[in-house]
Amino acid sequence: MKRTILLAAALVGAGRAFAQAPSGAHMLNLSCVEALVSIGQPSLAGVFSFIPEKDAPAAFADLIVHNTKALKKFVAKMERDQKEAGGISTWDHDAVSFAVSVYKSPLAETLDKPGEGMLKKLEALALAPAMTLQELTAHRRKG
């Protein structure tokens, strides 16, 4: 009898929780998906679908400043884009700019800083021309 009551209460509570859950999931920006794939983390797309689009580059930057391997992969992707297309996507530009600002902030003391060479690459990429993903894709096809 107690089990039945507890189960019923749990089901009612779960139903209310799902009814109150935010319906904030949205379609991801394709640049975000491309960035997640570039660092080998496409499974995080579901998590990023709950982050407002305007905050996604900052959230991604926070992810890469805490993971040196991911940072290196993302920098390599942006360097390829810059070489092939003459610039990086606007979304990538926002993410790398935020990463640079994190490394220049007091928060950097709590992080494992990448080498001086990687920091210079990040700063150079933050100054790279930004273009839409459509423009970047068109340049990739030409090259």
Q: Which helix (H) or strand (E) holds 131?
A: strand 130-131
Alpha helices in 2-86, H assignment, sequence order:
2-20, 30-38, 45-48, 56-65, 68-85
Tell me whether residue 19 is in a domain: no
* 5 in any annotated domain: no
Structural domains counted in the chain: 1
Locate 44 and state its tokens: 């995080």
Token output for 130: 């930004």
Which 3 state secondary structure label does DSSP give 132? coil
pLDDT tens track for 8-49: 444 444 444 444 445 567 889 999 999 999 999 999 999 999
- Decide if 12 is inside a domain: no
Tell me which H or E stretch contains 88. Answer: strand 88-89
| pTM of the full structure | 0.80
In-domain check, residue 32: yes
Residue at 69 is within a domain: yes
The answer to whether residue 137 sits within a structural domain is yes
The closest of 73, 3, 85, 84 to 34, measured between CA atoms, is 73
- What is the band of 143 on the pLDDT scale with cuts at 50, 70, 90? low
Task: Decide which of 13 and 68 is more confident.
Answer: 68
Residue 57 maps to a domain:
yes
Residue-number span of the structural domain to which 88 is assigned: 24-142
Is position 102 within any domain? yes
